[in-house]
Chains A and B, each alone.
Chain A
Amino acid sequence: MKLNKFWFIIAAVFLIGIAFTMVADNEFYFYATYAVMQLMIMGIAWNILGGFTGYVNFGSGGFFAAGAYTTVFLHRAFDAPPLLIAVLVAPMVCGLIGLGVGYFTLRLKGVYFAIATLAVAIILETIVVNWEFVGGAGGYYLLIPENVVFFDSYIEWLFVLILAITLIAIIVSRYLNSSKIGQGLAAIRDDELAAESMGVPTLKLKLISTTVMGGLMGAAGAPFPYFITFVEPASAFNLLVAVMAIAVPMIGGTASWIGPVIGGLLLGTIQETVTVNISSELNLLIVGVVLVGFISLAPQGITGLYQDFMRKRRKGND
């Protein structure tokens, strides 16, 4: 997608989003699209380390929760500051955690790295469970402010906020993908040893990858407490978050920023329809089965299938 066209679409989407808040009167749409966009951000974040760099990690849920709990901490410590502050602080905190975790775990080979990230997430969860200040195992309640500047209700503000974060995530992802860094990451993914011997500073790039992933996940998690009003470790650190973060790009396609967006849209829509109409457990089952199905049969995801299809059509036309 050409650069100018890209920026045009980004700007257009944002403006449409804002216009939407002035026109729509049913709040359900905001809740639903919030969830979908949150999935997209998580997928984009995971994909930077998992898809672009080839380092599968199971601990991304930990960064999401860390973002949420940063908001909780700020809420408690500074008597409910504006959410925007948390949204700016959380990515920095989580990016730093990502950097630290990366520094200690990236020396490990693929498999060990994945397990180590899971370990880190569980340890983070254990710390939070034992930390009374942010509510511990019992959880933490948040009161949504009565009045919001500019918008009719708080959920509209959350909607615009998450929309902005999603667009930023897309911009970051696209930049990483198409830049020299992105090529370096792809080289690491294809063959780390060869990449290193061809001058790619693998540790440095991998650290950039984990930091960005941590930051974006933290950004996704920061508004979450306001969205859900009650945060507890069991749901914030829930395995489902980690699974979703993996499922979204693996289904949508890991090669570029578009994959997680498509995957998020698809999975988010399935989630909303099934959960509301049938049951939430069945929804989880469907997600799991679709994930395994795509991993086994179409590891390049939907974008991969589309590219295969286009290639075959081109061959047919020659």
Chain B
Amino acid sequence: MTEPILSVTNLTKRFGGFVALDGVNVSLGDKERLGLIGPNGSGKTTLINCISGALFNEQGKVNFAGSDVTGTTASRRAKLGIIRTFQIPRPFRSMTIIENLLIPMEYAASGRMESRNLRDQAMESLEIVGLQDRADENSANLTQIDMRRLELARALSAKPSLLLSDETMAGLSSSEVDEVLDMLFALNERGVAVIMIEHIMRAVMKYSERIVVLDAGKKIADGSPDEIVNNRDVERAYLGE
């Protein structure tokens, strides 16, 4: 296997006395699509937060693209190419849709941008998610699905090499789920590794090349979708004994 783009070793995160993540090991290959599942409260978002830098882990290391990013700020990691989307979209409300994309282009992707006009490059990202006709609308009053689109377009504009997608499809209708799935496939085709947290099983099964399962802060399974489906521990975690 080629050098993994991300390797999380022995990661432990505590909140006071509560151990949210306990010695978790995950690695991700370049351009791999990884699904991250587990019952509520198992630590999935916490893991994403520790990888992206929104939280700092007490123990363990996070290695990205060959360098140790443990303890570095989230903006630093974004500059390196780790980009995350939020469960509840967080647009920059005072800006228009296209202005939202300028921020990651000027900051996270500042070393990776082409020298063409920024607005043109932003429009390309908008086209992938289907928001190109509304580029100059204010971003504050969008529908749920449009906010998810903006969130994805913004992540795209940051030119990530690793995308952490946190329940992007939660609460969407079946056809909307398919739309988002297509966008995530398109993203992966452009060379972006993706870790997807979702509760919508058919999306996870369809999208993931490999699935990692967390339960109560520990990794209990790591394998192909078929292996996971047939794994007794996973079944027990979700359904109880």
A-side residues, CB < 8 A to B, are 180, 183-184, 186-187, 189-191, 193-203
Contact = CB atoms under 8 A, between A and B. Distances in A.
B148 interface: no
Nearest to B92: A190
A187 B53 CA distance: 18
Contacts of B173: none
Chain B interface bracket (under 10, 10 to 19, 20 to 34, 35 or more): 20 to 34
B107 A198 contact: yes
B47 to A, nearest CB: 15
B54 A197 contact: yes
B38 interface: no
A187 B52 CA distance: 18
Interface string B138-180: 0000000000000000100010000000000000000000000
Contact of A198 (B54, B78, B93): B78
Nearest to B107: A199
Given A186-B95, A190-B93, A190-B94, A203 B73 contact: yes
B101 to A, nearest CB: 9
Given A197-B54, A197-B78, A197-B84, A190 B95 contact: yes
Interface string B50-69: 00111000000000000000
A183 B73 contact: no
Nearest to B80: A199
B78 A189 contact: no
Minimum-distance CB pairs A-B, first 6: A199-B108, A199-B107, A199-B78, A194-B90, A190-B92, A198-B104
Contacts of A201: 73, 75-76, 107
19 contacts: A184-B106, A184-B107, A187-B103, A190-B92, A191-B91, A191-B92, A193-B54, A194-B86, A194-B92, A195-B103, A196-B73, A196-B75, A197-B75, A198-B75, A198-B103, A198-B158, A199-B79, A199-B103, A199-B158
A186 B86 contact: no
Given A191-B93, A197-B52, A202 B75 contact: yes
B110 interface: yes
A263 B14 CA distance: 49
A197 B94 CA distance: 18
Contact of A187 (B78, B84, B92, B158): B92
B94 A198 contact: no
B196 interface: no
B155 to A, nearest CB: 9
Contacts of B108: 198-199
Contacts of B21: none
A189 B92 CA distance: 9
A118 B72 CA distance: 31
Nearest to A190: B92
A196 B75 CA distance: 5
A189 B93 CA distance: 10
B102 A183 contact: yes
B83 interface: yes
B98 interface: no
B90 A183 contact: no
Contacts of B76: 201
Given A186-B95, A187-B92, A193-B90, A200 B103 contact: yes
B109 interface: yes
Given A183-B102, A183-B106, A197 B74 contact: yes
A200 B90 CA distance: 15
Contact of B75 (A180, A191, A199): A199
B54 A186 contact: no
B27 to A, nearest CB: 22
B149 to A, nearest CB: 15
A199 B95 contact: no
Nearest to A195: B103
Q: Which of B52, B83, B92 has the most CB of A within 10 A?
A: B92
A180 B106 contact: yes
Q: Which of A187, A194, A199 has the most CB of B within 10 A?
A: A199
B151 to A, nearest CB: 9
Q: Which of B75, B86, B95, B158 has the most CB of A within 10 A?
A: B75
A195 B84 CA distance: 11
Contacts of A180: 106-107
A199 B109 contact: yes
B92 A200 contact: no
A199 B104 contact: yes
A85 to B, nearest CB: 39
Contacts of B52: 197
Contacts of A186: 92, 94-95
A69 B53 CA distance: 42
A184 B73 contact: no
A253 to B, nearest CB: 13
